[in-house]
């Protein structure tokens, strides 16, 4: 289907900067001729050129009212100030944040797409976006991995039996419980 071929050209950060709820909705709008091809800042000029080829449209400049095309950034959490509210986990479309309620949170930088959707919900402003070192652009391989992670999250959220507890939270809960058990065991040994 045309929408799938368009979606395959999009960066899959799900950042919503195009004004749509994610890459697939933007792809649908393009397939329906309801949107211009220049609304995706992460895709930049290369993305516009690819869309222009597929849709047989002229190449146009990025619409910078959607955002600028910049080298890849990732989110970094100031763990000293994190209050463990989990709002960033709920905002992250690719489950790149680990943490549990009332525990500090951290970003798995290898999984972060730089979408910056976690920044605004943080009530204590302890998330910043930083450029990756060395500087690099988002690649097609990055997009494939991000799409897999996004679709996995969507499946998890739509599965009723798994709705209550996101996997990363469960994982860190377990790790925290193990760490606390180890601390208790050490304290007992020292008595
Ligand atoms: S990566 Fe591009 S197409 Fe996907 S949500 Fe962001 S702006 Fe929209
Ligand atoms: S950690 Fe933040 S910037 Fe990175 S993918 Fe998740 S929401 Fe986007
Ligand atoms: S939104 Fe901010 S304070 Fe809340 S868990 Fe995430 S980083 Fe910590």
Is 97 a pocket residue for ligand 2 (Cβ < 6 Å)? yes
Question: Please, are residues 103 and 178 in contact by the beta-carbon 8 Å criterion?
Answer: no
Question: Please, are residues 149 and 94 in contact by the beta-carbon 8 Å criterion?
Answer: yes
Residue 69 CB: number of other CB atoms within 10 A? 18
Using one digit for the tens of pLDDT, what is the confidence trace for 50-69?
A: 999 999 999 999 999 999 99
pLDDT band at 159 (very low <50, low <70, confident <90, very high): confident
Write the residue with the smallest CA distance to atom 6 of ligand 1: 15
Q: In the prediction, which pLDDT does 103 show?
A: 86
Q: In the prediction, which pLDDT does 72 show?
A: 96
To the nearest 5 percent, what fractions of the chain are helix, strand and coil? 40, 5, 50
Which ligand minimizes its atom distance to the CA of 113? Answer: 2
Which ligand minimizes its atom distance to the CA of 80? Answer: 3
User: For the whole model, what pTM was predicted?
Assistant: 0.82
CA of 185 to the centre of ligand 1 (A): 49
Domains in the chain, CATH or no CATH each: 2-55 (1.10.15.40), 73-185 (3.30.70.20)
Rounded CA-CA distance 98/10 in Å is: 26
């Amino acid at each position: 289907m045309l929408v799938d071929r368009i979606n395959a050209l999009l960066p899959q950060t799900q950042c919503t900067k195009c004004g749509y709820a994610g890459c697939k909705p933007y792809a649908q709008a393009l397939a329906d001729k309801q949107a211009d091809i220049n609304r995706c800042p992460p895709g930049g000029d290369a993305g516009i050129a690819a869309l222009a080829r597929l849709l047989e449209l002229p190449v146009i400049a990025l619409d910078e009212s959607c955002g600028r095309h910049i080298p890849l950034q990732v989110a970094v959490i100031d763990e000293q100030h994190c209050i463990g509210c989990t709002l960033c986990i709920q905002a992250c479309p690719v489950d790149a944040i680990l943490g549990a309620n009332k525990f500090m949170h951290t970003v798995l930088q290898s999984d972060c797409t730089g979408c910056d959707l976690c920044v605004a919900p943080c009530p204590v402003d302890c998330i910043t976006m930083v450029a990756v070192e060395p500087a690099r652009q988002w690649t097609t391989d990055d997009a494939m991995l991000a799409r897999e992670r996004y679709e996995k999250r969507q499946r998890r959220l739509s599965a009723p039996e798994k709705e209550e507890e996101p996997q990363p939270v469960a994982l860190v809960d377990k790790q925290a419980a193990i760490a606390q058990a180890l601390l208790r065991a050490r304290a007992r040994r020292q008595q």
